[in-house]
Amino acid sequence: MISVIIIGTGNVAQNLFEAFFKVSNMSVTAVIGRSNTALAYFENRTQTLTDYNKIPQADVYLIAVKDDAILEVAKKLPKQGFVAHTSGGLGMSELLPLKNRGVFYPLQTFTKKKIMNFSSIPICVEATTESGLALLENLGKKISTKVVVLNSEQRAKLHLAAVFANNFTNYLYTLGAQICEEASVDFKLLAPLIKETACKIEAITPLKAQTGPAVRGDQKTMDTHLQLLENASQRELYKGLSKAIRETHHSKKN
Amino acid sequence: MISVIIIGTGNVAQNLFEAFFKVSNMSVTAVIGRSNTALAYFENRTQTLTDYNKIPQADVYLIAVKDDAILEVAKKLPKQGFVAHTSGGLGMSELLPLKNRGVFYPLQTFTKKKIMNFSSIPICVEATTESGLALLENLGKKISTKVVVLNSEQRAKLHLAAVFANNFTNYLYTLGAQICEEASVDFKLLAPLIKETACKIEAITPLKAQTGPAVRGDQKTMDTHLQLLENASQRELYKGLSKAIRETHHSKKN
C-alpha cells in the first residue's frame, strides 16, 4: 500500500490523480490546492485541503505545481516526509533543504480536461536515497509500464529534447496552419501526414526518415517556397531549418 | 471501369499500384519504368514496360516519378491521352504542351517497403477540363474517402505547409534524438509525447495547443536550455523558434 498526497490542482495533478485513483493497493490521501475553487475537481473523491498545517501523513508528497512555485510549496511540507516534484526541467536540488527528496516526471503533454492513459507514458524517477528511489519506482510501476531512472542532468536534456519534439514541432504545425489558411486550404488535410511523420520514428530513426527539398539539395523547390512565403519570420525559419538539415546530412554522409 | 497506366516504380508508384490493385471496377493496365530491375516489384501482377513506343491505351496516364523527370516522361506519352502527375509542388503547367492534363496528388509521406492504407489519405486533384477533373475525382474516390479539388496555387501552398509539418518537424525529431544521445537517454522515451502532439491538432488548433517556455516567456528555462545545447546550430534554431513563438503569440493576444 502506497499513500500519496498531491500538491497542485492543474492538468498534471488531475491526470496523476485519475491514474492513481484507478489503481489498487494505493490511495491518494489528499489533494492540496490554493483555493476550494481550484480543488473542486477532486471534491468527494478524496480529502481536499488549502491549509498546509492540516496535512496528513503519507508515503509520498508529490508536488505538481508550476516550476516557479515548487520551492515555495516544498517549504510548507513536513520536514520528515518524502517529497518529489514532477518537473522535467528542474533538478532534485530544487527541493533543498529537504533531505528525503526526489523527482517523479511523467514525460507527456497534458491538456485541460483531457485525461490520458498512463500505461505507455514514461515516468522518469530520481531520489536522494535508495529507499526513496524504490518507492518512486514502485509508484511509477503502478500506473506505467515504462519507469526509468534518470539523473537530473539526463532529465534536463530529455526535457530539452522534448521542447524540440513537442513545443517547437507544434509551432511548425502552427506555421503550416497559417500557410494553409492564406490559401483557403483546410489545415486538417495535413493530419494524416503529421501523424505518419510522428509514428515513423518508432520504425526508423528520424535521421534516416528525413525527406524533402533541403536534404535532396533541391534548390529550385526551396526558391519557389521562399517566394511563396508571405512573411519574413517564416522565410527566416525556412532558411534556418533547411540550412541545418543540409549541414546535418552533409556531415553525416562525409 | 477506369484503366490506369502508372509511369514510375518508386514509393509513390508502388503505393498507388497497391491501392488501385485492391479496388474493383478499375485496372492498372501497365507500369512503365526505366529498367526491368526497377519494374521487378510489379512483375506478374500487371504488364511491365520499358519501351514508351509500346504503351497501351488507358483512361489515365499517371506520372509518379521525381519532380525533375516529369517533363521528360510526359513528352514520351501519347498526345491524345489524359496525363496527370502526382507531385504536390508542381503545377499543371509542368505537363505542357499536353492539352488533357491534370494533377493527382496523394498528400502523404511514403517510405520504402511500407504500403499505406489510402482510405484517409487526402487526394488533391486538378485538371484542364471538366471531364478530366471528373475522371480524377472518380479515380481518387476509389481509394480514398478524402478527395479535394485544389488549384495549382493552393496545392503549392499545401505542399509548402507539408514541408513545415513533415520535413522540418522530422528534423526537430532528429535534433531531439541527438540531444538524447548526448545524455545517454533513449530517444524512444519521447515517442508517446511526439504522437500526442501530432494527434492533438485534430482536437484543438496548434495555435491554442502551444505550450513550453517560449510561449510562457520563461526566460530562466530558456537560458538553461541554451547553456545545455552543445552545438551552435542547435542554439541558433532554439533562439529562432523561441523568438518566432513569442512573436506569433504576442501579436495574437494584442
Binary contact (B174, A213; C-beta < 8 A)? no
Mean pLDDT taken over chain B? 94
Check residue A111 and give its pLDDT: 83
> What does DSSP assign to residue A120?
G
Binary contact (A161, B184; C-beta < 8 A)? no
Query: What is the C-alpha to C-alpha distance for residues B179 and B171, in angstroms, rounded to an integer?
Result: 12
pLDDT tens by residue, B128-181: 999 999 999 999 999 999 999 999 999 999 999 999 999 999 999 999 999 999
pLDDT tens by residue, A174-221: 999 999 999 999 999 999 999 999 999 999 999 999 999 999 999 999
pLDDT tens by residue, A14-56: 999 999 999 999 999 999 999 999 999 999 999 999 999 999 9
What's the pTM?
0.93
Q: How far is A176 from chain B (nearest CA, A)?
A: 4
**Is the Cβ–Cβ distance between B56 and B5 less than 8 Å?**
yes
Check residue A147 and give its pLDDT: 98
pLDDT tens by residue, B173-188: 999 999 999 999 999 9
**Is the Cβ–Cβ distance between B105 and B149 less than 8 Å?**
no
ipTM reported for the complex, 2 dp: 0.94
Q: Which one of A164, A186, A207 would you mutate to disrupt binding with B, by most B Cβ within 10 Å of its Cβ?
A: A164
Query: What is the C-alpha to C-alpha distance for residues B64 and B62, in angstroms, rounded to an integer?
Result: 6
Query: What is the C-alpha to C-alpha distance for residues A94 and A97, in angstroms, rounded to an integer?
Result: 9
- Residue in chain A closest to B245 (alpha carbons) equals A171
Q: Which one of B68, B119, B144, B172 would you mutate to disrupt binding with A, by most A Cβ within 10 Å of its Cβ?
A: B172
Check residue A2 and give its pLDDT: 95
Query: What is the C-alpha to C-alpha distance for residues B58 and B60, in angstroms, rounded to an integer?
Result: 6
